[in-house]
């Protein structure tokens, strides 16, 4: 059986492409490594108030805690009701419940076009960049990401800012009667994630938004978000995570991820392992989707470290965008930026319906506005404390590379708290080359790994003399800062807090980041 792969024209064939030297550099992208940092929706940033208010991006999109006692009580009741449902870590291979909810709600997810994002690493940062670009082009956006750090409201954003607590509460009460109807009809009640997904789609329709940027919770085909027919599907780098649910190889995992690629859509593929790429391309052929591949149709042409981030030249679907400042550290973030740019170009029809690219100044403005707490985020000086929520080996490798490149630490102490079910040894091994010492700890989540079990693994990787155990995160932070201070105020020592979204989120609060 022969397959016809429909794809966007390679940029190297376009009249406005760069000269041969840059083409040679670009072709080298095909062989570039695929390791990227993990998805972390939890620590939201780069927010904007409603576009109609004309506000500039805020510095942090993690909302302040509510002060109204009535709001606090209402949120507690909602959180208790949601927590009593199936957790989002439980994957059920069925869309019946969420499809039924969409039916009784009147199909709110059909009220706006969508960009759907799956993958293993980099989903949330890519979603945030896509959102920034769309907002810069004066579209009203809705963004749905997960998980959260302080409040469920962070998962549902309008125009870059989490919806207000009051709006979250109102949306919950609007949707709840319909959820009750579905619950009564089904063998199992709607899950935590299915309920929130219904709330997000309803909130976006009510706003209304011009476009929604939707990140899967886990996988793709059977993910609750997959009741949309996105015009653009994005697949960030696939690596091993949630293997007990999704598969033991990148290729097996890609089968589930490929489910978001719909007929006649455009699929934007980040660099992938070979077996994953084969699965994704086969799916694109089957549904006659248009394909844009990093390293072929788009990519990072050049990048250099700059104060507060990096300066990029990005190759889009219709030419180059030079001098793009991205205020985020690490090669993985540059690749995420290239994917985000291609996704927005595809959404606007660049590379297919018309050949002209996006306005370069608007693209630069958008990327310059992106901030990302919890991604190589400096939250303290003297000693410098950096937060990065890497939670799998690929994320650990990306974090290690970024910290080497962006920070000149003479000695780095790690604070690591992880969740059960992860490849903890792989993460520890990825971080080992950059950490002089490691303080193992546990966050407050019920999924947090037992600190003694984590310590045993850490000793195997680092040796007994480089491992310290502090069961409480606040004590772990204090111990790591003390270790870093032993070299003196001007020594260049630092602390890296990592291992879990929850660990980083709690560390942000302990270190005064509201």
Where would I find the H helices in 8-152? 20-27, 69-83, 96-105, 123-136
Q: How much is the average pLDDT of 174-197? A: 96
Q: Class of the 69-369 domain?
A: alpha beta
> In the chain, which residues fall in CATH 3.90.190.20?
377-511
Determine the Cα–Cα distance for residues 474 and 485; give it in Å rounded to an integer.
Answer: 17
329: which 2 tokens? 């550290």
Q: What pLDDT, on a 0 to 100 scale, did the predictor assign at position 241?
A: 65
Token pair 């059986």 in the structure block, residue:
1
pLDDT tens by residue, 286-304: 999 999 999 999 999 999 9
Say if residue 514's pLDDT is above 90: no
Q: What pLDDT, on a 0 to 100 scale, did the predictor assign at position 58?
A: 39
Q: What pLDDT, on a 0 to 100 scale, did the predictor assign at position 38?
A: 35
83: which 2 tokens? 């927590």
Say if residue 157's pLDDT is above 70: yes
Q: What pLDDT, on a 0 to 100 scale, did the predictor assign at position 154?
A: 85
Q: How much is the average pLDDT of 145-166? A: 85
Q: How much is the average pLDDT of 430-454? A: 95
Q: What pLDDT, on a 0 to 100 scale, did the predictor assign at position 375?
A: 83
Please report the DSSP string for 360-386 in residue order.
HHHHHHHHHT---TTEEEEEETTTEEE
Residue 326 pLDDT level (bands cut at 50, 70, 90):
very high
Determine the Cα–Cα distance for residues 385 and 377; give it in Å rounded to an integer.
Answer: 8
Say if residue 361's pLDDT is above 70: yes
Q: What pLDDT, on a 0 to 100 scale, did the predictor assign at position 354?
A: 59
pLDDT tens by residue, 32-85: 433 433 333 333 322 222 222 333 343 445 677 788 999 999 999 999 999 899
Q: How much is the average pLDDT of 192-196? A: 95
Q: Which of helix, strand or coil describes residue 237?
A: coil
Angstrom CA distances, 347 to 46, 317, 357, stand at 21, 11, 12
CATH architecture label of 377-511: Alpha-Beta Complex (3.90)
Q: What pLDDT, on a 0 to 100 scale, did the predictor assign at position 286?
A: 97
291: which 2 tokens? 């394909």
Say if residue 92's pLDDT is above 90: no
Q: What pLDDT, on a 0 to 100 scale, did the predictor assign at position 34?
A: 37
Determine the Cα–Cα distance for residues 499 and 419; give it in Å rounded to an integer.
Answer: 8
Say if residue 137's pLDDT is above 80: yes
Please enumerate in sequence order all residues whose Cβ is within 8 A of that of 481, keeping only pairs 6 or more positions apart, or say none.
Answer: 380, 383, 385, 495
pLDDT tens by residue, 465-496: 999 999 999 999 999 999 998 876 556 899 99
Say if residue 11's pLDDT is above 60: no
Q: What pLDDT, on a 0 to 100 scale, did the predictor assign at position 98?
A: 97
CA Rg value for the chain? 22
Contacts 24+ apart (CB under 8 A), 164-172: 164/63, 165/63, 165/66, 165/71, 165/75, 166/71, 167/203, 168/75, 168/78, 168/199, 169/71, 169/74, 169/75, 169/78, 171/199, 171/202, 171/203, 171/206, 172/78, 172/199
Token pair 């949707």 in the structure block, residue:
175
> In the chain, which residues fall in CATH 3.40.1190.10?
69-369
| Cα dihedral value 416, 422, 426, 432, nearest 10 | 0
Quick check: bond before 177 cis, omega within 30?
no
- Give the mean pLDDT of the chain: 86
For residues 127 and 121, is the Cβ–Cβ distance under 8 A?
no
C-alpha 39, offset from chain centre: 4
Determine the Cα–Cα distance for residues 403 and 384; give it in Å rounded to an integer.
Answer: 12
Residues above pLDDT 90, as percent of the chain: 69
Please report the DSSP string for 301-332 in residue order.
EEEEEETTEEEEEEEETTEEEEEEEE-S-SHH
Determine the Cα–Cα distance for residues 325 and 302; give it in Å rounded to an integer.
Answer: 12
Q: 158-162, 322-326, 424-428 — which is least confidently predicted? A: 158-162
């Amino acid at each position: 059986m022969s397959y016809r792969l429909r794809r966007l024209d390679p940029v190297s064939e376009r009249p406005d492409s760069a000269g041969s030297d840059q083409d040679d550099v670009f072709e080298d992208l095909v062989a570039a490594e695929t390791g990227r940092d993990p998805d972390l929706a939890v620590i939201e940033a780069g927010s904007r108030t409603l576009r109609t208010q004309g506000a500039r991006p805020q510095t942090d999109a993690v909302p302040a805690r509510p002060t109204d006692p009535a709001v606090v009580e209402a949120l507690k009741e909602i959180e208790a009701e949601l927590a009593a449902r199936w957790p989002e870590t439980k994957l059920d291979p069925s869309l019946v419940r969420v499809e039924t909810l969409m039916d009784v709600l009147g199909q709110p997810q059909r009220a706006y076009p969508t960009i759907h994002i799956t993958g293993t690493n980099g989903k949330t940062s890519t979603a945030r960049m896509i959102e920034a670009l769309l907002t810069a082009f004066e579209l009203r956006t809705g963004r749905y990401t997960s998980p959260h750090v302080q409040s469920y409201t962070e998962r549902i954003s309008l125009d870059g800012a989490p919806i207000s607590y009051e709006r979250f509460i109102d949306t919950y009460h609007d949707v709840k009667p319909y959820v009750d109807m579905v619950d009564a009809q089904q063998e199992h009640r709607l899950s935590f994630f299915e309920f929130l997904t219904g709330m997000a789609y309803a909130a976006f329709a009510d706003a209304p938004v011009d476009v929604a940027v939707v990140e899967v919770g886990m996988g793709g085909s059977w993910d609750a978000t997959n009741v949309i027919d996105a015009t653009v599907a994005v697949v960030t780098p696939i690596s091993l995570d949630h293997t007990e649910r999704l598969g033991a190889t990148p290729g097996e995992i890609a089968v589930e991820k490929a489910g978001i690629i719909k007929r006649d859509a455009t699929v934007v593929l980040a660099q992938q392992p070979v077996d994953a790429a084969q699965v994704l391309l086969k799916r694109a052929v089957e549904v006659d989707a248009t394909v844009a591949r990093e390293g072929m149709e788009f990519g990072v042409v050049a990048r250099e470290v700059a104060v507060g981030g990096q300066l990029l030249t990005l190759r889009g679907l219709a030419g180059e965008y030079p001098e793009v400042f991205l205020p985020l550290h690490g090669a993985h973030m540059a690749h995420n930026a290239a994917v985000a740019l291609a996704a927005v170009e595809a959404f606007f029809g660049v590379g297919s319906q018309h050949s002209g690219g996006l306005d370069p100044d608007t693209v630069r403005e958008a990327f310059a506005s992106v901030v990302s707490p919890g991604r190589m985020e400096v939250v303290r000086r003297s000693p410098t404390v950096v937060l990065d929520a890497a939670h799998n080996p690929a994320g650990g490798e990306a974090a290690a590379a970024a910290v080497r490149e962006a920070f000149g630490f003479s000695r780095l102490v790690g604070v690591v708290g992880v969740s059960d079910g992860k490849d903890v040894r792989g993460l520890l091994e990825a971080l080992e080359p950059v950490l002089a010492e490691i303080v193992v700890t546990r966050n407050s989540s019920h999924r947090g790994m037992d600190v003694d079990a984590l310590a045993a693994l850490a000793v195997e990787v680092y040796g007994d003399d480089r491992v310290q155990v502090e069961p409480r995160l606040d004590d772990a932070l204090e111990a790591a800062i003390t270790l870093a201070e032993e070299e003196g105020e001007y020594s260049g020592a630092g602390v890296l807090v990592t291992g879990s979204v929850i660990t980083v989120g709690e560390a942000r609060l302990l270190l005064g980041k509201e």
